Amino acid sequence: MNYVLLLLSVLAETIKNAYTNHFSKRIAKNNADTYLFNAVLSFGAVIFFMFTGNVYTLSAFSLVMALVFAVVTIFAQVFLSLAMGCGPMSFSVLFTYLGSMIIPTIYSMLFLDQMPGVTQWIGFGLMLVSITLSVDLKKKGENAMSVKWLLLTFGGFVMWGLVGVCQQIHQNSQYKGEINAFLFYSFIMMTVLLWLFFLVCKKRGAEQNYFVKSKASVVIVLSGIGNGAINLINLYLAGVMPGIIFFPIVSGGVIILSGLAAIIVFKEWLDKKQVVAVVAGVLSVILLGI
């Protein structure tokens, strides 16, 4: 059952990333649009958790962790959105989601006494091979890499990693049963903070291109509802599966499927070396799950 939930999480996350890429490249014109997009996305998750039950009782520990989780998730989502807006979707997801693979795995090894086996080490090695073969710094045009893009992806790398650590800390505590309330209040905080960021940008003169009343908001809210389900699944699995297995599989799966979506939907064609990278990535995820 856990692996079925993993598959659903990876598929839903990939769809969300594909729409985020579309919005960032075709609709968003500045940071104000990006903040408003993520605010509406977070509000969709709030709607989801309103129907899950057990969302109004929360301990002080979970409330503090919800605030920390909200802040790091905001930066993770915004960095990824901005990176997609000025660079390739496939590599933006690759470098940012590596953080949610590597940092929580290191945390698991250092603080939860979870050591990888031989197949996991081989899987990590293949993932590094996949990453090395994927990079093409000479690429030009809309999907070219730049210093700005590299800085955004590095920020995303760190923040997505911290998202995973927050999940582990909460789900390895005595308050892990407050999972619904923890995420409910996290997304309320995210919605409010992102809305405030948007208002600050507007006050500074940013020209708004995306409006809440536009047709795009329907898709964004639906994506947000799906995002709420993704977070519920991931937080649950972070508490019942070893971190050295869960985080590499879910992050590696999203990296691979988002890369395929970038090829099929957004025509980010790969050369022969990068095709080999995708194959190596698939094999690495399989080995990480053994």
* pLDDT score for 116: 73
* pLDDT score for 270: 65
The mean pLDDT values, 10 residues at a time, for the chain of 290 residues are 84 91 92 96 96 89 96 96 87 83 84 78 78 64 71 93 93 92 97 96 90 93 94 88 79 81 76 72 69
C-alpha distances in Å from residue 228, one per residue of 12, 52, 181, 257: 10, 10, 12, 20
* pLDDT score for 139: 60
* pLDDT score for 108: 84
Single-letter amino acid, residue 14:
T
* pLDDT score for 169: 94
With contact defined as beta carbons under 8 Å apart, do 65 and 170 qualify? yes
Distance from C-alpha of 185 to C-alpha of 42, rounded to nearest angstrom: 11
* pLDDT score for 257: 83
Q: Is the dihedral of CA 6, 9, 12, 18 positive or negative?
A: negative
* pLDDT score for 111: 83
Distance of CA 239 to the CA centre of its chain: 18
* pLDDT score for 141: 56
State the virtual CA torsion across 237, 287, 9, 149 in degrees, nearest 10: 110
